[in-house]
Each structure stands twice: as structure tokens, then as C-alpha cells.
Amino acid sequence: MRIGVDTGGTFTDFVRIDSKGLSTHKVRSTPDDPSRAILEGLAALGLDGSGGSAAAAGHDDVVHGSTVATNAVLERKGARVALVATAGFEDVIHIGRQTRPELYNIFVKPRRPLVDRGLVFGVRERLDHNGAVITPLDPAEVDRLAVVVKSGGADIVAVCLLHSYVNDAHEQLVGTRLRAAGLAVCTSAEVLPEYREFERWSTTVVNAYVTPLMDRYLGRLQLALGRAASLAIMQSNGGSISAAAARAQAVRTVLSGPAAGVVGAKAVAEAAGFRHVISFDMGGTSTDVSLIDNSIRTTNDARVGDFPVRVPVIDIHTVGAGGGSIAAVDTGGALRVGPRSAGAQPGPACYGTGTELTVTDANLLLGRLDPAFFFGGRMTLDLSRAQDAARPLADSLHLSVAEVAEGVVRVANANMERAIRVVSVERGHDPRDFSLLAFGGAGGMHACEIADALEMKTVIVPRQAGVLSALGMLVADVTKDYSASVLKRANELTTKDLDARYQPLLKVAARDLAKEGFAGKKAKCTRWIDVRYVGQSYEITLPYAVGYRAAFDRVHGRTYGYSNPDRPVEVVNIRVVAAGLAAKPRLPRAKQLKASKPKPSAIRPARFNGKSWKTPTYQWEQLAAGARASGPAVIMGAEATAVIPPGWAFHVDRMGNVICARTSR
């Protein structure tokens, strides 16, 4: 048995695959302690730490996407971190890049680092840019420093010295002596052996800030699971790693949930015959979008809150628009939706405890949700509470409750439409060339209207839409990333030179994959290279091949609209991506595809474009492969709902996915 677990802001999702096939489950999240919801769901699926599962103990797998690291940074609830830097460079982490987040605000508040100034310490040492020692490191000074750091009450020490990406001898010495003094340590050479001091130090500090919390959290979860299952953790790069590896480098898990959703979206899209899609994951608190053009796009230039994190992550754009996003009128009298969210507690007003109007309440008021059949019938929505939450806004805007609800949905749609433009139009892609793959509990409710605004012709709502991130964890490979800085012009590097530089990374990659149980045909290493024109500040990452220069010019032209084949280029970093190829689950597929007109379970009024429409409601579980009908329609499932507005039609494919197509403008 294998179980994927995605901890979200409102619900925690589960997908179980065993010899009997695929099953899904959802529980309300427990933000105070995410492990409670996880253990509750695992027990419901037949896995618990005391008795194990029906299978032999130790042979079951749990793959978990955690929000612990992300929330710790965003809420500033991480560990107390001390920073040891090269003497004279203690303020790098505070100075940053001197970029102003608000260009025209002379009173803008400065970014507050994760390390207090009183816990930043300088150590006398110096390397030059080639790694040669200018000022030797005195071990006795490090021992004295250890005493001072311990007296400061730090939970962990981040060690970041100049040019350690070339020569990490000084960082190793500092780390060894601090650990000998009983301190937890992470060094920048272990976390990110790349040039750019501020980004390297920021990534290392973020890792130090979240690692103790992740270590404790995963330790508790592993203890609770006992011998019932092995535990793996989803990374931001779309692959998983062992819990032990995640407990040592938690920074690699900061965007694990959204990354799993993109992996699941790609798997479902390919199985349905679509290779060019934009994934659209609308959950309770936020919406994540990513462009998949045959392959998943990754980046090394990510941020978590105010802090750069230069570890490989899937290229995802997030906006604060979800089912729990709260609607309010701003000081200018305009209707705003999000980024503030009702979350799991208290949740939307219609859940019975919230008091403020949310997107979910608005959809209920518009008739796009059945109050008697939500969450697969396990939950009843309170329509009167949603109406009560909408009235103050309706009164202040001089509108009816229905008009306010429709306005909330339109504003939320506009926010999410802009997010899709960021990953498509702003990256040089026309969204009309892609299909919109919508998932998350609320994604299918908004996808057709958003696609309409973007002139996209097709919307795919997967059968597993409400738990697709959890499914993505089960199709993800075990993936590890390795890098080294080069910083040489391409004409100074022969193919033999580059091959020699890749060898140490490939050797370590093969060793680490073997530790995870992957070797031979199950282990795959790919080489990547970061290239830029000489004089540029930022680079493009592309697959390494002998003709990488020509490939760079093509990618640069497509990305930025111009290229210059006559201009010299520089190799900045080399990278190795090591993948342990996991066994992929087979998605359920109907044997027959027979066109039929489904019978609705009910016909209820729903509001679209300012008018009330008699709208058929269908139960997802009762829609056979080949069923087709025109909008308006509402399709309700155990984990998600799909809304097909007027001017759209849908059919159900062999895997139970709802494929929507625009029939008119």
C-alpha cells in the first residue's frame, strides 16, 4: 500500500493505492498540529502506528507534502538562528540586494532578516575568488566563538563564509568544531555551493530557520507511524526524498504541496492525451498556477516570503485567492477578495463557524454548490449564515446579496486570470495554445469562466481533482539536485573540461540514489548548465549538450525576444539532477467509451452573468465514460465540484475526467 498525503490550509487530502486500486479521502486540516489530521486520515485508510496495516509492516509507503517549513517562514515562527560569517561581512544578510519593494514609498519598512543582529558573528578568515587562502582560519578562535554562540541561546548555527562554493575547507572546519561543542549546524557549502553571497547566505539561513521545526515534526510523525510505513517527503522540485534527508535540509520542502500538484497534473494530462496545459490549483487559501509545455518548468530563483531561496523549485505562481478568501470593501469603496483567508478555522461562514463572506459562500449563494451534498454528502452547508455574511457588504455597496456574490466570484476570477497571464504571456507563451487543467476542491468551479476570459478553448477537470496533489506525490520520482559554480567563459572550457567538472557531482548523485534504494535502470542522472551572455547578471538553465551555446541563443530569444549569437557567453553553474524512478500507479480507466446523455440528480436554479438559469446537477460518481451534456451544469463529487457555465459543454473521458469545451463566445 502507498498513500500520498497533502496538508492544505482547509483540508488534508489522501490518495491510497494498493492491490485493490485507487481510493481517496479528505479530512479537515488541524493547523495547530498538522499531524493530527494526517494520523486521522491514515487510520481511516487502514494505516496506523499501533497495528500497522493489512500488509506486512515496513512495506507500506507514505509520501507527504508538508507546509510546516513554508508556514514557519511566512509566520516567522522558526528556530532561533545564529549566523557565522567572514569577519567584515556580517551585515550581508541585512543589506541584501538593496532593492526597494515599494519604489515610490519613502517610508517603506525594511526587510527584517530571520537572524537577529545580536546573533551574527564574524570569524577572521579569507579566501580569494579561486579558493586560495588569504587569511588562515584559527581553530582556537572558532572554539571561543562556540562558547559565545551557545550563551546567546541559538537553536542552530548557519555558517556562511566568502567563496566557500570554491573551497569549503574553512566552512567544514567551523562546522566541525561548532558541532563538537554541541551546536546544531548547517553550512552554505552543504546547502547551496553556488556563488552570489546574499542568495547563498539567505538560502542557508532559511534552511537553518526551518530545519529544527521540520526535524521535530517529522520525528513525531515517524514515531506515530511506528513500523506501519516508511515516510518520504515531497520536495519543491517535484521529487521526493526520505524523511531523514528532509529533516537535514528542510529548505528543499518549502513549496512541496504545490509542486506535487503540478506533477499530478502532468501525469493526468498525459494520460488524457494533453501535453500542453496550464495547471490551475485552487484550494482553500490560495491558487497555484504553472505552465507545462511537454515538461514541467523549474527555476532556481524562488522566494519564500521576503527571502530568496535558490534551490530548484517548480515554476509556480501563487495568488491569495482560494475558496476561503475573504471578501471586503476597501477604503476606496471597491470590492476586494483575499489575500486574507478564513482557512480551516473558522472557515467560510457556510461551514457553521465563520462570520465573514468568502468565495465558497459566494458560490453557495449563486446556486453553484448544493448545501445538502458537500464534501461527498459528509457535510451540510449553512445557506442562511452565508446570506448573513453577505448582507453587510450588500448594504455598503447598495447591491443585492446575489449581485455581491457574483461580484466576489468575478473579482476572484480576475485575480486568478492575472496569475495565469504571469506564467504564460509574461513568459512568452500564448494561453490560447494551452488547455486549462483545473484541480483543488474549488478549481473546477471557476476554470471555465477564467478560460473564457483568456480565450482558452478546453478545460480539463480530473476525476481526482480534489486530491490531485496527493496523487502527484505517488507518481513523483525520488529526486536530488547537485550544483557547482564555474564562472568561466565558454571559449575557455572544452567539452573535456566540463565533463571533468560534472564527474564529482555524478559520483555523489549515484551514491545518494543507491542509499535511497535506486541503482541501474532505476537511477537516472541528467546534466544541466547555467549560461548567460558576458556582462549579464542572471542566467538561463538548459540541458547540457555539446551544442549548448546554440540552444542558449534560441531559449534566450524565445524568453526575452532577442538573442545575439556573436556575443560571448559565460558558464555560471553546472547542475546534476538525479532521479530514482519510482513505480508509477495506473490510473483507473473505463473499458468502454459510449456516448450518452446523463440524467441529472436534480435541477436547481444557479446564477450566471446576472441571470438565473435552471441548472442540472450531476453526481460525478454516476457519470459514465462517454457521458456528454451542455452547460449550464454542476457536477458534484466527493472531493471537488465542477461548474460548466452557459456557452460550454462537457464530456467524460475513459478515466472519469470532465473535459469542457467552449461552444460559443
Q: Is the pLDDT of residue 506 over 80?
A: yes
Looking at the structure, tell me whether residues 425 and 551 fall in a common domain.
no
CA quadruple 484, 259, 238, 560: dihedral positive or negative? negative
Task: Provide the CATH number for the domain around residue 102.
Answer: 3.40.50
Q: Is the pLDDT of residue 51 over 70?
A: no
Q: What is the pLDDT of residues 243-260, one digit of tens each?
A: 988 998 999 998 887 899
Number of domains composing the chain: 3
pLDDT at site 61: 87
Could you write out the DSSP letters of every residue in 211-277? Answer: HHHHHHHHHHHHHHHTTS-EEEEE-TTS-EEEHHHHHH-GGGGTTHHHHHHHHHHHHHHHHTT--EE
**Among residues 3, 81, 68, which one has the least CA distance to residue 252?**
68
Quick one: pLDDT band at residue 333, thresholds 50, 70, 90? confident
pTM: 0.88
**Among residues 61, 103, 104, which one has the least CA distance to residue 582?**
61
Asked if residue 637 is part of any domain, the answer here is no
Query: If you average pLDDT over residues 520-531, what whole number do you get?
Result: 94
127-141, 472-486, 588-602: segment of lowest average pLDDT: 588-602
Q: Is the pLDDT of residue 281 over 80?
A: yes
Asked if residue 500 is part of any domain, the answer here is yes
Distance between CA atoms of 160 and 566, rounded to whole angstroms? 38
Looking at the structure, tell me whether residues 399 and 317 fall in a common domain.
yes
Looking at the structure, tell me whether residues 447 and 501 fall in a common domain.
no
pLDDT at site 53: 44
Task: Provide the CATH number for the domain around residue 550.
Answer: 3.30.1490
Distance between CA atoms of 109 and 657, rounded to whole angstroms? 48
Looking at the structure, tell me whether residues 399 and 512 fall in a common domain.
no
Query: If you average pLDDT over residues 444-460, what whole number do you get?
Result: 96
Which residue spans within 300-453 are E strands per DSSP?
302-304, 307-309, 313-314, 317-319, 325-329, 335-341, 435-439
What is the domain extent for residue 377?
Answer: 273-461+592-627
Looking at the structure, tell me whether residues 453 and 536 fall in a common domain.
no
Asked if residue 567 is part of any domain, the answer here is yes
Asked if residue 490 is part of any domain, the answer here is yes
The β-bridge partners of 230 are 61
Task: Provide the CATH number for the domain around residue 380.
Answer: 3.30.420
Q: How far is CA 152 from CA 81, 177, 186, 191, 635, in A?
A: 10, 17, 17, 24, 58
Looking at the structure, tell me whether residues 574 and 603 fall in a common domain.
no
- pLDDT higher for 22 or 471? 471
Asked if residue 573 is part of any domain, the answer here is yes
Looking at the structure, tell me whether residues 100 and 194 fall in a common domain.
yes
From 214, 234, 261, the end of a domain falls on 214
Q: What is the pLDDT of residues 339-352, one digit of tens each?
A: 888 876 788 999 98
Looking at the structure, tell me whether residues 554 and 618 fall in a common domain.
no
Quick one: pLDDT band at residue 136, thresholds 50, 70, 90? very high
Looking at the structure, tell me whether residues 150 and 294 fall in a common domain.
no
Looking at the structure, tell me whether residues 488 and 534 fall in a common domain.
yes
Cα 541 off chain centre by: 20
Q: How far is CA 125 from CA 88, 93, 128, 225, 474, in A?
A: 10, 18, 10, 46, 47
Asked if residue 618 is part of any domain, the answer here is yes
Q: How far is CA 448 from CA 79, 245, 362, in A?
A: 43, 41, 17
Look up residue 386 and give its three cell numbers. 452565508
Q: Taking a C-beta distance cutoff of 8 angstroms, is the pair 456, 421 a contact?
A: no
Asked if residue 325 is part of any domain, the answer here is yes
Asked if residue 443 is part of any domain, the answer here is yes
